[in-house]
Chains A and B, each alone.
Chain A
Amino acid sequence: MGQPPYEDPPDEGAGGPVGEPRVGVDSWVASHEGRRERSTGISGRIKAWWQRTPPAGRLLVFVIPAIIFPLVSNSGNIYRYGILTLIYALLAYGLTIVVGFAGLLDLGYIAFFGFGAYAYGYLASQHTGHHWHAELALPVVVVASAGLGIILGSPSLRLLGDYLAIVTLFFGQAFVIFVNNANRIDFPFFGQVDLTGGAQGLEGVDPLNFFGYKVSTNKGYFYVAVIMLVLIVAMLHLVNHSRTGRAWRALREDPLAAEVLSIPVNRLKILAFAFGAAVAGLIGCLYSSIQTLDAPGDYSVGLLITIYAIVILGGAGSLSGVIIAALIVNGVPELLRNPSNGRYVFYVGLLLVLWYFLKTWQRLLIVLGGTLVFGWVLYGISSVVWDRGTSGQPVVDPETGSNWLSTAISHWMLTPTDRTQIANWAFFGLVILIMIATLVRGWWQVLVLIPTVWIAAFAWENLLFTPDQINGPTRLLLLGTVLVVLMNARPQGLFGTRQVEIV
């Protein structure tokens, strides 16, 4: 029969209304969840308050800081922290419809985003010479994206979960190949037509032009994005509580049972695809007009993984979780880019991870103290026998120079001068040590963790944090690690509720 009931500590439960009946919940599950969600302490009080707040109030909690943010920030920060976060969040909402509500694994989602961007670029840019106003172009693009969603969704009627995933993933790849090369297709009767600008991208996309009023500043775009967010979240909330939303959830939980209950499964699948694609197409218009350029590289698998990470981190189907996850997924790597902030973010993150996994204060203190002593001892030994190991300098911000943290670690962390080779081996060793640390239990784990933490810091300081890596692969590496660790430790996401399966 089924698995034994969970025996987790009660502080792990998260939001979600308890009172209303949900699909797949009987009285036993409800009482079980109720027991787990009766949290105490600060987090419990926040959760209780959050559940009492009406949906509109919850939205205001996010919207009011968003309205204030551009007034106290400069244009670059509005773009990097504000607009990008909003675009990620909006895309994640579109994906929530397909994956979170209807449970269809759509890995070609980014292609709809790209389609929207290119379609807007086609309707309003110097490249083609058309200059449509936004109030006309946006609906056209949204309808076209929804149509594409219907076309791509139609195989989903015949394909089960994983097959659908691979077909859509291939579709996403096909889209990138197409836009990369569509500047030199020969059509039988028209000759050569430059549709997409090829690898250079489609240049000179118009800013959004609503009835003659052009949005031109980052601040303006930020507010446009906030308005879109409010509209889309409100729409999703209403859809989620409608007949269609309930039918989607039934479809997600058990397609066969849903079909037996005479729910029109095929129509709902297509509808979910079309809905998600329409949202993605709309965001594509916004993104394309902000960038003033549609480049094929923007619509790659990297973005897909980022959006999936947001949806999963937020807990598939949770609306407020998505925004928080988007803030984390976009904000943390942006903070990491700056050497003076990045170091704080890394060490605080390391502390949080250790605290979460070690559970008790004593072990945490032992690991931290042990790591400090381990580093000092190594530094002392190396300053005597291995000159090169201590002669380098930690990476610092070229403008502000070293701060107290970089000074503090400079006598604890080895920073060799010619570091690439040794740092590569350290990275390799780190992977091995992490694997060992997850296999052993009890005090052995504490013992293994001490060198693991030190070598993690070593690899960070000497390899991942260097300017070559921090902007590209390090970000993806962290995202991938977050996905794997989260799936293994907490499959329902940070803000989702755990589903108890009854067999």
Chain B
Amino acid sequence: MHYVPDLVTALFFPPWKNWSYFWDLTVSGLTRGSIYALIALGYSMVYGILKLLNFAHGDVYMIGAFLGWFMLHWLGGPADPFISGWFVVACMLLFAMVGCGVLGVGIERFAYRRLRDAPRIAPLISALGVSIILQSSAQILFGAGFRDYGTEELVGFNIHSIGDVFFSTVQLVTVLLAIALMIALTLYVARTRTGKAMRATSFDREAASMMGIDVDRVISVTFFIGSALAGAAGVMFGLVYGQIFNLMGFLAGLKGFTAAVIGGIGSIPGAMLGGIILGLAESYATGYLPQGSTFHDLYVFLLLIIVMIVRPSGLLGTPEIQKV
């Protein structure tokens, strides 16, 4: 029977029989999860403030990956860079973040700002339009093929181990950087004046503007930060998985939104938690569930449906009370 191999994986390598397989899946899940979490943050912040599902966010992430690639090649390419490997990575991240941030602000200014008080469907359709503009522009400008990041030539794939847990430097850096960015964001939102204005705006936009908060500016800052995080995620994806292409944003955006929904949309710690849970779930589904390598996206979809039915406001979200 053809069914046997998958059963073998699931039954004969449960975590307590083969920990090293489990840890491999965990490491890969955490890496994925931190990328999803960064994307989810942008979705969640924008949704918290504008109640807008920013479909273009996944494509901003794709543009970020391409900006990183261009920076890499302006600095001499992965094989022979002008400066040492990790500086190149830092430059790529910085360039992608700033570029994507500006792109996000532009998108908000030109595609969403006029539609803030329009019926809910109008900004959604506009966002779909922006998404498809970004995708097809990327195909026109960069072509439809894959592009290699050449991570191994750039910084190497040094494998470290702690006991049974094996991970590469790039994976470690990705997870740590994601955590650092999330901490920075949390501090920014909690401690600074703009962060306070952001919270106020997401609580009640009209009241915030009456209190003298420049709502337009706050929304622009939100888009800048969210898109910059997506840009960083794009570069990380390129570094970890090695290849980028113009349609990579769609599914990643979908997963990012799923992560935001699972964690509770509008909540920043929720987006991080949702991202990590989603990454781990996808990774374990790939490893343990029948035909996981083909259908892991379907399993993620199932997870989303279950969460939405059991707890529509997400794990850390507060239920929305509908006012009449």
Contact assessment for A191 and B297 in the assembled complex, using a CB-CB cutoff below 8 Å: no
Contact assessment for A435 and B305 in the assembled complex, using a CB-CB cutoff below 8 Å: no
Contact assessment for A484 and B126 in the assembled complex, using a CB-CB cutoff below 8 Å: yes
**Contact residue among B106, B114, B136 (Cβ-Cβ distance under 8 Å from A488):** B114
Kindly identify, within residues 425 to 470 of chain A, every residue whose CB is under 8 Å from any CB belonging to chain B.
427-428, 431, 435, 438, 463-464, 469
Kindly identify, within residues 32 to 49 of chain B, every residue whose CB is under 8 Å from any CB belonging to chain A.
47
B141 within 8 A of A: yes
CA distance A134 to B260 in the complex (A): 45
A491 within 8 A of B: yes
Contact assessment for B140 and A469 in the assembled complex, using a CB-CB cutoff below 8 Å: yes
CA distance A473 to B142 in the complex (A): 12
B135 within 8 A of A: yes
Nearest A residue to B47, CB-CB: A162
Contact assessment for B122 and A474 in the assembled complex, using a CB-CB cutoff below 8 Å: no
* Closest Cβ–Cβ distance, residue B261 to chain A (whole Å): 7
* Closest Cβ–Cβ distance, residue A498 to chain B (whole Å): 11
Q: A469-B140, A476-B132 are in contact. Are A488 and B115 (CB under 8 A)?
A: yes
Q: A159-B312, A484-B111, A487-B115 are in contact. Are A476 and B136 (CB under 8 A)?
A: yes
Q: A192-B2, A305-B132 are in contact. Are A99 and B261 (CB under 8 A)?
A: no
Contact assessment for A308 and B140 in the assembled complex, using a CB-CB cutoff below 8 Å: no
Nearest B residue to A477, CB-CB: B136
Contact assessment for B128 and A477 in the assembled complex, using a CB-CB cutoff below 8 Å: no
A479 within 8 A of B: yes
Contact assessment for A163 and B308 in the assembled complex, using a CB-CB cutoff below 8 Å: yes
Q: A177-B297, A427-B141, A476-B136 are in contact. Are A158 and B308 (CB under 8 A)?
A: yes
Contact assessment for B128 and A308 in the assembled complex, using a CB-CB cutoff below 8 Å: yes
CA distance A472 to B133 in the complex (A): 12
Point out the residues of chain A lying under 8 angstroms from B135, CB to CB: 476
- The digit string for B140-161, where 1 denotes a CB below 8 A from any CB of A, is 1100100000000000000000
Point out the residues of chain A lying under 8 angstroms from B309, CB to CB: 155, 158
Kindly identify, within residues 242 to 267 of chain B, every residue whose CB is under 8 Å from any CB belonging to chain A.
250-251, 254, 257-258, 261
A271 within 8 A of B: no
B12 within 8 A of A: no
**Contact residue among B106, B129, B257 (Cβ-Cβ distance under 8 Å from A484):** B129
* Closest Cβ–Cβ distance, residue B106 to chain A (whole Å): 7
A347 within 8 A of B: no
CA distance A192 to B6 in the complex (A): 13
A161 within 8 A of B: yes
- The digit string for B231-250, where 1 denotes a CB below 8 A from any CB of A, is 00000000000000000001
Kindly identify, within residues 282 to 324 of chain B, every residue whose CB is under 8 Å from any CB belonging to chain A.
290-291, 294-295, 297-298, 301, 304-305, 308-309, 312, 320, 322, 324
* Closest Cβ–Cβ distance, residue A458 to chain B (whole Å): 14
CA distance A3 to B118 in the complex (A): 11
Interface of A is mostly: helix
Contact assessment for A181 and B115 in the assembled complex, using a CB-CB cutoff below 8 Å: no
Size class of the contact patch on chain B: 35 or more
A173 within 8 A of B: yes
Contact assessment for B298 and A301 in the assembled complex, using a CB-CB cutoff below 8 Å: no
Q: A174-B298, A477-B137 are in contact. Are A163 and B322 (CB under 8 A)?
A: no
Point out the residues of chain A lying under 8 angstroms from B132, CB to CB: 302, 305, 476-477, 479-480, 483
**Contact residue among B106, B111, B122, B301 (Cβ-Cβ distance under 8 Å from A170):** B301
* Closest Cβ–Cβ distance, residue B30 to chain A (whole Å): 23
CA distance A464 to B136 in the complex (A): 11
Kindly identify, within residues 285 to 343 of chain A, every residue whose CB is under 8 Å from any CB belonging to chain B.
301-302, 305, 308, 312, 316
Contact assessment for A173 and B251 in the assembled complex, using a CB-CB cutoff below 8 Å: yes
Point out the residues of chain B lying under 8 angstroms from A192, CB to CB: 2
Point out the residues of chain B lying under 8 angstroms from A3, CB to CB: 117
Contact surface of A with B, Cβ cutoff 8 Å:
3, 99, 103, 105, 155, 158-163, 165-167, 169-171, 173-174, 177-178, 181, 184-188, 191-192, 256, 301-302, 305, 308, 312, 316, 424, 427-428, 431, 435, 438, 463-464, 469, 472-474, 476-477, 479-484, 487-488, 491, 499, 501
The list of the 7 closest CB pairs from A to B, nearest first, reads A483-B129, A480-B132, A480-B133, A473-B136, A484-B129, A487-B126, A476-B136
* Apart from A186-B290, A435-B110: 20 A-B pairs, beta carbons within 8 A: A105-B121, A155-B305, A158-B308, A158-B309, A158-B312, A162-B47, A163-B312, A167-B308, A170-B258, A302-B132, A305-B128, A427-B141, A431-B137, A435-B109, A479-B129, A483-B129, A487-B123, A488-B110, A488-B126, A501-B119
What are 9 pairs between A and B in contact, CB < 8 Å? A158-B309, A161-B120, A162-B53, A171-B301, A173-B251, A476-B132, A476-B136, A481-B129, A501-B119
Contact surface of B with A, Cβ cutoff 8 Å:
1-3, 6, 47, 51, 53, 106, 109-111, 114-115, 117-126, 128-133, 135-137, 139-141, 144, 250-251, 254, 257-258, 261, 290-291, 294-295, 297-298, 301, 304-305, 308-309, 312, 320, 322, 324
